Amino acid sequence: MKKVIIIRYAELFLKGKNRGFFEKAFEANIQRALKGIEHELLRQSGRYLVVNFAEEVIDEMIVRLKKVFGIHTFSVAYETDANMDAIFAVAKTVCKQEGSFKVASHRGDKKFPLTSIEISKELGGRLLSVYHNLTVDVHNPSFTVNVDIREGGKALVFSEFIEGANGMPVGTAGKGLLLISGGIDSPVAGYMMAKRGMNVECLHFHSYPYTNMQAKEKVVELATTIASYSCGTKLYTVSVTHIQEEIHKKCRPELMITLLRRFMFRIAERHALHISAQCLITGESLGQVASQTIEGMTSSNSVVEKLPVLRPLVGFDKNEIIDRSVKIGTYETSILPYEDCCTVFLPDFPAIRPKLKDILMEERKLDVEGLIKTAFESMEKIEL
């Protein structure tokens, strides 16, 4: 029996005159997700149909469609001829043999002889006559058999609604540059912005040889997971080894992290402008570590001149972030025990409320422009 997949939008229907723009991006993202699988995508009013695919790729398609933002729900449906006998034959396989149920019908083809209510009544009656442990409950059924009469003499029958990723189609909300570490938070932050339709590219700072190759591999893996939600991404890596060594040599140890972060933000903004990204994204959460106090954020934010810094996790508890990380599939990688930022230079007691005046004084000891230039020379780009 032929199967099709019905895809329903999430928030897209809210859009008025821009709808065409959103739909175009949405379609492109679905096509991209299903790349390599033979199929056809048809647009219908209020939904999409995926047709003409092989039965054995359905599981793979479900996995991939679950990651496409903009999809509210989707269903695998049987396609059959639009007559009650054929519909009943299919409904028997879709319908469970016990429990409470109802039939919900939709008559797209008004030429069909029965009305929606009549279809439901007729089909419900036939199902009850073959499955004796079924009961009807139209208000709170444990499952629903859906019948959809389409134009062209075909009907779709299905029961299950698979939850989609929701959100907005990636590509409809500009481009952002995510500062990605190897930790739990930043991948979640990237996911959340992608969910709102943003194209997310990633920037990672490493301190080889103080950190190892495995730590970098880990970030590649995390960025790959983000790429699976955001229709691909690019990962840029930059070495901050030299910067750390200079800070270590010349500045007060308790300001190491604050000073380093200011370099990271400067590099990130310049690179973001270079790749036409419109914002920086970080995984910062208020008060989580010494550098993520409001004072810490102020000091690092103050070097960013032109772009907004988005912090989608700023009000989240660690546990909430962990839950999301598990859900999107980055947690297991994030907790691999490789150090992502050089702990060799970590002070015993980092400054919790760094004062901008002190920071500026320490920073004057460094050749900021020269160090940034050296850092940019180490940049590598990985397409994911």
Residues contributing to the site for other proteins (CB under 8 A): 208-210, 212, 214-215, 245, 248-249, 337-339, 343-344
The DSSP letter of residue 237 is E
Quote the least distance from Cβ 218 to other proteins, whole Å.
10
Minimum Å distance from CB 139 to other proteins?
Answer: 54
Name which of 46 and 337 has its Cβ closer to other proteins.
Answer: 337
Which CB atom, from 36 or from 337, has the smaller least distance to other proteins?
337
Round to whole Å and give the CA distance between 49 and 40: 8
State which residue, 210 or 265, has the beta carbon closest to other proteins.
210
Q: In what order do the strands lie in the sheet with 199-206?
A: 309-310, 279-281, 175-179, 199-206, 234-239, 380-383
CB of 211 to other proteins, least distance (A): 9
Q: d(Cα 201, Cα 374) in Å, to the nearest integer?
A: 22
Residue 221 or 245: the one with the smaller Cβ distance to other proteins is 245
Q: What angle do CA 204, 206, 211 make, to 5 degrees?
A: 140
CB neighbour list of residue 17: distance below 8 Å, 6 or more residues apart: none
Amino acid code (one letter) for 288: Q
Min CB(206)–other proteins separation in Å: 11
Q: Which is nearer to other proteins, 199 or 244 (CB)?
A: 244
Q: How far is CA 145 from the centre of its chain?
A: 31
Of 303, 304, 326, 324, residue with least CA distance to 313:
324
Query: Among residues 245 and 323, whose Cβ is nearest to other proteins?
Result: 245
CB of 310 to other proteins, least distance (A): 30
Q: Residue 331 in 3-state DSSP? A: helix
Helix axis angle, 318-328 relative to 185-195, nearest 10°? 70
In the complex, minimum distance from the CB of residue 220 to other proteins, in angstroms, rounded to a whole number: 16
Closest distance between other proteins and the C-beta of residue 249, in Å? 8
First vs last C-alpha separation in the chain = 37
At residue 275's C-alpha, the angle toward residues 271 and 277, to 5°, is: 90
**Least distance from other proteins to the Cβ atom of residue 212, Å:** 6
Q: Give the DSSP letter string of 74-91.
A: EEEEEEEESSHHHHHHHH
Q: Output 78 or 210, the one with its CB closest to other proteins.
A: 210
Residue 164's contacts (CB-CB under 8 Å, 6 or more residues apart) are 7, 8, 10, 65, 66, 68, 70, 71, 72, 73, 74
Structure tokens at 336: 């691999």
Q: How far is the CB of 367 from other proteins (least distance, A)?
A: 16
- Residues in Cβ contact with 381 at an 8 Å cutoff, skipping those fewer than 6 apart: 234, 235, 236
Cα–Cα dist 58/5, whole Å: 9
At residue 284, φ and ψ (nearest 5 deg) are -65, 145
1 vs 344 by CB, closer to other proteins: 344
Judged by beta carbon, residue 130 or residue 346, the one nearer other proteins is: 346
Looking at beta carbons only, is 6 or 215 nearer to other proteins? 215
Amino acid in position 198: M
